[in-house]
Structure 1
Amino acid sequence: MKILVFGATGSQQFNIIGEAKKRGAEVVAATSSERSFDRLNKAGAIPILANMNDADKMREITKGIDSVALLIPVSLPNPVDGLQYAKNVIDSAKANGVNKIVWNTSAWLSSHKLGIPGEDVKLDIRDYLKNSGVDYVIIEPTIYMENMMGPFCAPFVKKEKKIAYPTPEAMPIGWIASRDVSAFIVEAIYSTKLKADTFQISGMENLRGNDLADRFSKGVGEKIVYYPQTSTEFGEILKPFVGEAAAAGVASYYESIQNATTYPAKFNPDMSKVLEKLPIKMTSLEQWAKGAREYFFS
């Protein structure tokens, strides 16, 4: 099995390398920077320099590939460009006889367009993939535990012993570990029964803010409290890392949640059914926090 991974330099897809290597796969990791080569090599992947906006390059690197693990960058200056990036990969995969595309959507897809370019374009990508003629699996993860390692959260943990996140304390979330998402993706690649399937995945615990802080506290061995961050503060911290447009879009999304009378679902109560088709070992928030303790308190 030869797998081409997009986004392998980031936390969302990096663990695909290790999970695929466990199955004996050869992993090719596309990256836009040669600075990532050493890290990807050490992880066991074959790095290749390629930009998703280059259709010719996509046709070149998908030759001889069995499956593609797809991720669209979240930090595009113009989020709508994500559709063309996806088309370049999907069209190339089809032309070169790739068996399957497994797309990590980075979040649960909305039922309709929200006026947020970075989220709305995913619905167009979904439709294009479904109509492409290539076998596919769509993996929709809820909020990553690794988000707590981000610049909008980690400094608060280190300096103030607060878990900062721009969701109300009362809003429950089924936080999921990046490694678990990667394991789902690899299982989907290897499953011959899955050819046109979509899975909304979450962690096994549906945690409100104070519950999150409690599990995190137990994991790191420190007393941590929950801090419901404002969307404005969140967006300002995020801006230098993903660009003004992407930060504004994400901040707008969280502002809508903060102003909502009912909260969007971020937990799948039927994860047992998902695990029947994609059997992996799930990670609890406490387990994840225990493993990440050194990152926060070294």
Structure 2
Amino acid sequence: MTVLVFGAGGAQGGAVARRLVEEGLAVRGVSRTGAVPEGVEPVRADLGDRGRLREAFAGVTRVSMVLPLEYDPGRVAAYTRNVLAEAAAAGVARLVFNPGNRLPRADTGAAAFDTRRAAARAVLDSPVPAVVLCPPIYLENLAAPWVRRGLAGEGVLRYPVPASVPVAWLSHADLAAATLAALTGDDLAGATLDLGGEPMTGPELAAAFGARYKAVDVEVFAAGMAAALGPDVAAGVAGTYRWVAGPGRELYAASPGGAKRLGIEVTSPADWAAGQAWRWQR
């Protein structure tokens, strides 16, 4: 079995690639720079380049697909078509698509949600046997400098979600475990599975760090993100938080039954926090 992992140079795809290598699988990683984890065969490619994608798919039997942080509908649709066309041509037996977020049931006006909803529909409508894994918010987001500073230095968890909104959280390691299970498990083709642990409010999450919670304005949060990831990415992500603070308050509170179906155990925020050297200590 050879697994092609998209985004292998990034946080989500990199976690998946490392887990697959640990399992002894042959892993080929696609990234724009060619940077991939140790033990992964590198492929430098852009999802807009069908020729390079065709080379990347040679001999591949399984695919872990994640899209780059781009939210232009036409570009995202083209990337998705290219991957699915090459996967079908290669006879891929299972494709696991991670849209990078939970998927609302209807269009939201937030491009980061709506482009991924369209991509997920295309994936499931394609002839390639596929599974869609929908993560909630990642625990690793709390390690971002603009969040970690408050946690480590003041014991304050600042995040752009209202304190009363429950969120199921997920680690990158658990995403990788879920992806492995979805790539290899039986009777999963066609499934869309929500991932995450038991939902908790902001104060409950902060308690896992021995800290207190303070909801922050989305625009302030986006400004901090823009410094690291650029204004376009920050604007796209900020749109999801605005929607979750309004009509989408229940998006991350939905029962995360996907982990149970995949047979994985989700790491609790408290256990994850205990492993962070920078966590708040009184």
Q: Please indicate the TM-score interval, normalised by the length of the shorter structure.
A: over 0.9
8 Å Cα contact 1:154-1:296 kept in structure 2: no
- Structure 1 residue runs of 4+, over 6 Å off? none
Residue of 173, 186, 205 corresponding to 1:212: 205
Residue of 75, 83, 92 corresponding to 2:86: 92
Alpha-carbon distance in 1 for matches of 2:8, 2:157 = 27
Residue of 234, 242, 247 corresponding to 1:247: 234
8 Å Cα contact 1:136-1:196 kept in structure 2: yes
1:176 matched residue in structure 2: 170
Residue segments in structure 1 that go unaligned for 5+ positions in a row: 218-223
1:140 matched residue in structure 2: 134
Deviations 1:226-283 (A, max 9, x none): 12110010111112333323322322332233345x7223134353xx3453112321
Alpha-carbon distance in 2 for matches of 1:162, 1:57 = 46
Question: Do structure 1's residue 288 and structure 2's residue 272 form an aligned pair?
Answer: yes
Q: 1:102 to 1:45 in 2, by over 3 A?
A: same
Q: 1:296 to 1:190 in 2, by over 3 A?
A: farther
8 Å Cα contact 2:102-2:136 kept in structure 1: yes
Alpha-carbon distance in 2 for matches of 1:18, 1:31 = 14
The two structures have a TM-score, normalised by structure 1, of: 0.87
8 Å Cα contact 2:124-2:131 kept in structure 1: no
Deviations 1:196-246 (A, max 9, x none): 11101111x3211111111122xxxxxx21121100101111123333233
8 Å Cα contact 2:195-2:256 kept in structure 1: no
Residue of 127, 139, 150 corresponding to 2:144: 150
Alpha-carbon distance in 1 for matches of 2:268, 2:143 = 16
Residue of 45, 57, 70 corresponding to 2:52: 57
1:232 matched residue in structure 2: 219
Q: 1:241 to 1:79 in 2, by over 3 A?
A: farther
Alpha-carbon distance in 1 for matches of 2:77, 2:167 = 28
Deviations 1:108-133 (A, max 9, x none): 11111111222211122122112210
Post-superposition offset of 1:159: 2.9
**Residue 28 of structure 1: SS of its match in structure 2?**
strand
**Residue 169 of structure 2: SS of its match in structure 1?**
coil
**Residue 3 of structure 2: SS of its match in structure 1?**
strand
Alpha-carbon distance in 1 for matches of 2:108, 2:171 = 26
Alpha-carbon distance in 1 for matches of 2:188, 2:260 = 12
Alpha-carbon distance in 2 for matches of 1:252, 1:15 = 26
Which residue type is aligned with residue 54 of structure 2? Answer: R
2:156 matched residue in structure 1: 162
Aligned length: 281
1:131 matched residue in structure 2: 125
| Further displaced range: 150-159 or 168-177 | 150-159
The two structures have a TM-score, normalised by structure 2, of: 0.92
